[in-house]
Amino acid sequence: MIKLAVFGDPIGHSLSPIIHTEFAQQAGIKVDYTRIQVSAEEFAERFAEFVSDGGIGANITLPLKELALEVADELTATAIQAGAVNTLLKNNSRWLGTNTDGLGLVTDIERHQVSLEGAKVLLLGAGGAARGVVPALLSAKVASIHVANRTPERAEALIQHALTFAVESQSGSLLLTAGGLNALPRTPFTVVINATSSSLHGEELFLPERILKRQPFSYDMVYGEKPTAFLQWAQRNNCPVADGLGMLVGQAAESFRLWTGVAPDVRPTLAALRNRLGLWSS
């Protein structure tokens, strides 16, 4: 039995136990995957208890992703670049911290037959989710990323951080720019990703329609029973759309692969989840 857990606060809503139980059934592996609710103050101690109880892998969610950087003995480049850990795995007696969120997004976008290589990306938002996916977008060889945020200074800080590692991984032609939501560039985008939490609260972003003129693939990290306000707006402008459930399942699939060595097929898990929870599908 492989002992796994997800740590966060709150954690009751987490779909991770359902997703990993599906993956385990698919792979014919026995896993014990639990939710552990713990505050930031008690995280290190509770994690140590989990390790002494035989835990070999963990997912980390809000608000503990930055703290998990300190719990790990070693970090992957992805975790350092993202500035957050969402997956911990035991490697001999040491704990490796990594971040699979970005790969989850990239594999989900590519599953929708959208090529990121050479894409002109508009990334809306500059919180933890936006920061976490930039390294993977760069690895997927996008041509440009414009980060637009309600608070422009956060977008600027995000690209300044990204530039410190982007220089090493790109040929020099990469364009990384930032600004406010009300000052979007006039250049066309081929992929627009909503990484703000506006959709969680049903709030609209009130963006200019010209950004959808070339019908970019429009992605919202939030998912739900119906398309988010952002996705409905994109649909009205004839854009292909997708919600973030595939990103969630995609990041979980990469964590599962790291822990067990088996890469699960995300499609049956996604279909089962949408069916079970009555979620909308594009």
Give the interface with ligand NAP as residue ranges (CB under 6 A). 101, 125-130, 149-151, 154, 195-198, 200, 203, 205, 221-222, 244, 247-248, 251
Shortest separation between residue 206's beta carbon and ligand NAP, angstroms: 9
Instruction: Classify residue 153 by its DSSP letter.
Output: H
Which residue type sits at 109? I
> CB of 247: closest distance to ligand NAP in angstroms?
4
Distance CA 175, CA 113 (A): 24
- Which residue number has the CB closest to ligand NAP? 127
With beta carbons less than 8 A apart as the criterion, state whether 87 and 256 touch: no
**CB contact at 8 A, 224 and 277:** no
Q: Are strands 57-60 and 2-8 parallel, antiparallel or unpaired?
A: parallel
Closest to 104 (Cα-Cα) out of 121, 88, 86, 122: 86
94-98 and 241-243 strand pairing: unpaired
| Cβ neighbourhood burial of 188 (10 Å; 0-12, 13-18, 19+) | middle
Which stretch of DSSP H or E encloses residue 178? strand 175-180
Tell me the closest approach of the beta carbon of residue 171 to ligand NAP, in angstroms. 29
Cβ of residue 46: shortest distance to ligand NAP, in angstroms?
22
Which residue is catalytic, options 3, 30, 65, 90? 65
Cβ atoms 110, 246 nearer than 8 A: no
Q: What is the C-alpha separation between 229 and 246, in angstroms, rounded? A: 18
CA 119 – CA 242 distance, rounded (Å):
17
Task: Give the nearest distance from C-beta 75 to ligand NAP in angstroms.
Answer: 19
Secondary element (H or E) of residue 269:
helix 266-277
**Nearer Cβ to ligand NAP (90/150):** 150
Shortest approach of ligand NAP to residue 195 CB, angstroms?
5
User: Active-site residue 3, yes or no?
Assistant: no
Kindly calculate the radius of gyration of the chain based on its CA atoms and give it in whole angstroms: 19
Question: For residues 143 and 226, which CB has a smaller minimum distance to ligand NAP in the complex?
Answer: 226
Positions marked active-site: 65
